[in-house]
Amino acid sequence: MKKVLSTFILCFTMLTAFAQTRMRPVEQLINTADPGWPVVRQWIDSAKNKVEVLPVDAAKAKDALYKTQVTTRSIMGAIVYSTGGILVDEGWIRIFGSGNARMQRTLPDWNKGKGFKEFGDRPAFFIVADDAAGGLFAVNYGSFGKDVENIYYFSPDSLQWEALGKNYEDFIWFCFTGDLEKFYSGIRWKSWRKDIKSMTADEVFNIYPPLWSVEGRDVEKSDKKPVPADEEYLFNLSILKQAADKHDH
């Protein structure tokens, strides 16, 4: 726990320098011979959970793809280049793409200053989605464990990064077809479907008492208000830092 907390905080404050790689031009990242988007579309067509693809803006898509430095042959690149983002289960899960009026956060821009300092830096972790409760899904690039390129979930009821045993492709498939009620047991409340309509995909619920506290164990009794996702991210980071400081002392 201590190692995960301190590593996460260290990455955020950028005390560690990451090797910068040469940025490939966007033309080299667009794969027309074997694109990944048809695969994603097939997955969406067979999805068990409600999936909404946000319309893409061509200029924003190229910019986001360039900043992300993945090819459109990959599932991640296909989602960045072909969507403004993807909303799953009424928008409870938000998978980052290249941005849209309904979800202005883009995959690369929202990660800047979190898992890496500048575009082209090798990230320590890469947040690829979040949820309405403030949970985060991130690709591990060495921060959380030895299972590099696997997804970890930052759970709002434990404030810990939990290994999901899935890579990015597995995670997308899980979002579309998995048992989300089971996954979010104890985190979602009865009226969440109604409550989520009052927020944007750039907001999350600030839940008080917090889910990780003794007083917050019954989420039905907690107050929930939409706040900017960045605000909740920084709040959780401050809680983690306090916990790490207490542990050190």
Average pLDDT, the chain: 90
Q: Compute the distance between CA of residue 7 and CA of residue 87 in angstroms, rounded to an integer.
A: 30
The per-residue pLDDT for 171 is 98
User: DSSP 3-state assignment of 194?
Assistant: helix
Mean pLDDT along residues 13-26: 59
Does residue 223 carry a pLDDT above 70? Answer: yes
Q: What pLDDT shows up at residue 35?
A: 93
- Per-residue pLDDT, 28: 93
Q: Quick one: which H or E segment has residue 74?
A: none
Model confidence band, residue 16 (pLDDT cutoffs 50, 70, 90): very low
Using 50, 70 and 90 to split pLDDT, how confident is the model at 14? Answer: very low
- 239 has pLDDT over 90: no
Residues 141 and 149: their CA atoms lie apart, in Å, by: 6
Q: How confident is the model at residue 249 (pLDDT cuts 50, 70, 90)?
A: low
**Distance, CA of 5 to CA of 3 (rounded, Å):** 6
What integer is the mean pLDDT of 222-249?
85
User: What pLDDT score was predicted for residue 6?
Assistant: 41
Tell whether the model's pLDDT for residue 19 goes beyond 50.
no
**pLDDT for the residue numbered 13:** 37
Helix locations, 35-90, DSSP H:
37-45, 58-68, 75-82
CA distance 106 to 166: 22
Q: Please confirm whether the linkage preceding 156 is cis (ω < 30° from 0).
A: no
Is a pLDDT exceeding 70 seen at residue 7? no
Is the separation of the CB atoms in 208 and 218 below 8 Å?
Answer: no
- 23-81: pLDDT as tens digits: 999 999 998 888 999 999 999 999 999 999 999 999 999 999 999 999 999 999 999 99
- Segment 137-153 shows an average pLDDT of 95
Q: What is the pLDDT of residue 21?
A: 63
pLDDT digits 0-9 by tens, 189-205: 999 999 999 999 999 99
